[in-house]
Amino acid sequence: MMKKYDKLERNAIGRMVPTIINGREHVPFQGVGKFRPTGRKAAPLIATCADYPDDGNKLVESLREALVKSGLKDGMTISTHHHFRNGDLIANQIFDIAHDLGVRDLRWYPSASFPCHEHLIKYLEDGTINRIEGSMNGPLGKFCSEGNMKGMGVLRSHGGRYQAVQDGDVHIDVAVIAAPTADAFGNANGVDGPAACGLLGFALADSQYADRVIVVTDNLVPFPCIPWQIHGNYVDYTVKVDQVGIPEKIISGTTRITKSPDRLLMAEMTAEFCDQAGIIKDGFSYQAGAGGTALSIGNYFADLMRERGVKARFIRAGSNKYPVQMLEEGLVDYILDGQTFDLEGVRSMRENPGHINTSPFTSYNYHGKGNFSTMVDVVILGATEVDVNFNANVVTHSDGYLLHGMGGWQNCLFSKCTILPIPLFRDRIPVIKDEVTTICGPGELIDVIVTERGIAINPLRKDLIEKLKNTDLPVKTIEELKDEAEKICGVPPKPELDDELVAVIKWVDGTIIDAVRKVKTS
């Protein structure tokens, strides 16, 4: 049996990481912007129209038939996207079919997995699936953390996932793209249909580079399906099913404005910080995630903008009703959207020409000729832990469990100002530590930590320190914040971890920034 990992090396941020993972060589993290790719992009096989139906009708009877025609066999890589989030109905079916066909040792390469995919644990146990390379939110993360996954988990950011496919680090054998609307040729979009989820950008790389591409829809329209967020010219087979996703479940549980007084305080302080740093001005841009605090910051921004008569050029989103309201109110020219977090986002993307469909290629791919992430003036992100060097963790909890994916988090760190509003402690466990359990983002890219009891500016950002030197905001050092938390809660215990590794965290350039250790479960 293939070793899960081998040949550990210390990387540029001081972490011991394996350089052989699931039988393949990987490069340890070398520092931000230090690794230089030398090769050429992946080169898909040249197709010919002679092999595809003249009438454009690529419909086959069932997902099973499409998978069989795609040559599904042992050891293949199957990809899916997560635009339906916890409402996905297709990924589980793929592996039910694979199991039924007796296919084994598959690599599942989702753009993220959710609690709805807990169904797949039995296939991870029986060997149908060897491993998941992708975010593991919830039960699958727990399964991996406890050392139960046969292969090694590999976590990539949204941009890193595109990079890995583009660069040929991950070869997708069969991509299955669940689409709210499609034509029989395979043109597809996420804005129309009963299960509309907004867009399909996470499946772009899959469509471009996979050997076989299957589009599954419950809303088949006559050619041409407009808009064609996915081009049928990349698609091999189309399948009509009764239902591809549950649209209500694309809503993230965190897309509601926070009501917690502490979080509202952090939101207000963050907005105030941005204002005093001179960020809120005509033509500025920002990205705020879908968490309650981030949403609340967006509302503070909107208030400031109305007050000043200032207009933003664009909001990078994860959209929901709040940025949509700002777009409709004329507070911003464009929403550059990577995924919709609620049905208002879907509606707006369908109706509003200023609500723009983006993809990890345009927004996040580090192995492109630039991407959009560096052009965002300020980005507000979360973290599970931060260390005194501003390194941050977004995937493991303080007990060591791997329960979150990274999404676009790493990619967003490249903005002009990255702010993490985080509570000083959670469940009486301080969030700022000497050392985070898992490094997902190097401290040099994290500019500001905002807690309910004070703000720490990264000493590297002398410009921000200068701008805030006369502030009435409680600016402190990160050590001061850490001490304050420890005075209240004590020094947090280290998580009980095994030496065995269960997963690795990729940096945006495909190098290994950290490894995740098995949690002791005895």
Least distance in angstroms from the C-beta of 332 to its own copies: 12
Distances in Å between the Cα of 307 and the Cα atoms of 26, 280, 315 are 51, 11, 18
| DSSP string computed for 116-172 | GGGGGHHHHHHTSEEEE-S-B-SHHHHHHHTT--SS-EEE--HHHHHHHHHTTSS--
Tell which one of 84, 109, 228, 401 touches its own copies (CB under 8 A): 228
Stretch 9-28 residues interacting with its own copies (CB under 8 A) = none
Q: Choose one: 53-61, 260-268, 269-277, 397-405; the region binding its own copies (CB under 8 A).
A: 53-61
Q: Choose one: 101-109, 110-118, 174-182, 227-235; the region binding its own copies (CB under 8 A).
A: 227-235
Asked if residue 39 binds its own copies (CB under 8 A), the reply is yes
Q: How far apart are CA 215 and CA 483, in angstroms?
A: 54
Question: Smaller CB distance to its own copies: residue 144 or 213?
Answer: 213
Asked if residue 211 binds its own copies (CB under 8 A), the reply is no
Q: How far apart are CA 271 and CA 310, in angstroms?
A: 15
Least distance in angstroms from the C-beta of 50 to its own copies: 4
13 contact partners, CB below 8 Å, separation of at least 6: 29, 31, 391, 439, 442, 513, 514
Asked if residue 465 binds its own copies (CB under 8 A), the reply is no
In the three-class reduction of DSSP (H, G, I as helix; E, B as strand; rest coil), residue 33 is classed as coil
Find tokens 């490094």 and name the residue: 439
| DSSP string computed for 239-295 | EE-S-SB-GGGGS-TT-S----HHHHHHHHHHHHHHHHTT-SSTT-EEEE-SSHHHH
Question: Smaller CB distance to its own copies: residue 124 or 170?
Answer: 170
Asked if residue 300 binds its own copies (CB under 8 A), the reply is no
Asked if residue 307 binds its own copies (CB under 8 A), the reply is no
Site string for its own copies, 309-348 (x = CB under 8 A): ----xx-------------------x-x------------
518 contact partners, CB below 8 Å, separation of at least 6: 145, 146, 147, 497, 498, 499, 500, 501, 502
Least distance in angstroms from the C-beta of 452 to its own copies: 31
Q: How far apart are CA 293 and CA 272, in angstroms?
A: 14
Find tokens 């993490």 and name the residue: 420
Q: How far apart are CA 151 and CA 117, in angstroms?
A: 18
Asked if residue 283 binds its own copies (CB under 8 A), the reply is yes
Least distance in angstroms from the C-beta of 509 to its own copies: 7
Least distance in angstroms from the C-beta of 340 to its own copies: 18
In the three-class reduction of DSSP (H, G, I as helix; E, B as strand; rest coil), residue 104 is classed as coil
Question: Smaller CB distance to its own copies: residue 87 or 345?
Answer: 345
**Cβ atoms within 10 Å, residue 334:** 17
Q: Beta strand 16-21 with 5-10: parallel, antiparallel or unpaired?
A: antiparallel
Asked if residue 281 binds its own copies (CB under 8 A), the reply is no
Question: Smaller CB distance to its own copies: residue 153 or 360?
Answer: 360
Nearest alpha carbon to residue 203 among 31, 80, 376, 104: 80
Q: Within 13 Å of residue 30, how many CA atoms lie on the same side as its CB?
A: 11
Least distance in angstroms from the C-beta of 140 to its own copies: 31
Q: How far apart are CA 143 and CA 163, in angstroms?
A: 27
Site string for its own copies, 161-180 (x = CB under 8 A): -----xx-------------
Least distance in angstroms from the C-beta of 445 to its own copies: 11
Asked if residue 367 binds its own copies (CB under 8 A), the reply is yes
Question: Smaller CB distance to its own copies: residue 70 or 438?
Answer: 70
- Joined together, the tokens standing for residue 373 give 């992430």
Q: How far apart are CA 453 and CA 6, in angstroms?
A: 43
Asked if residue 45 binds its own copies (CB under 8 A), the reply is yes
Asked if residue 353 binds its own copies (CB under 8 A), the reply is yes
Q: Choose one: 20-28, 100-108, 290-298, 363-371; the region binding its own copies (CB under 8 A).
A: 363-371
Asked if residue 36 binds its own copies (CB under 8 A), the reply is yes
Q: How far apart are CA 402 and CA 517, in angstroms?
A: 9
Least distance in angstroms from the C-beta of 376 to its own copies: 10
Question: Smaller CB distance to its own copies: residue 138 or 168?
Answer: 168
Asked if residue 370 binds its own copies (CB under 8 A), the reply is yes
Burial class from Cβ neighbours inside 10 Å (0-12, 13-18, 19+) for residue 427 reads exposed
Distances in Å between the Cα of 290 and the Cα atoms of 78, 317, 381, 383, 384 are 28, 8, 9, 13, 15
Question: Smaller CB distance to its own copies: residue 30 or 325?
Answer: 30
Tell which one of 12, 52, 147, 331 touches its own copies (CB under 8 A): 52
Question: Smaller CB distance to its own copies: residue 141 or 232?
Answer: 232
Least distance in angstroms from the C-beta of 175 to its own copies: 12
**Residues at the contact surface with its own copies, assessed by CB under 8 A:** 33-56, 58, 166-167, 185-186, 213, 222-224, 226, 228, 231-236, 283, 313-314, 334, 336, 353-354, 356, 361-362, 365-372, 374-375, 414, 416, 509
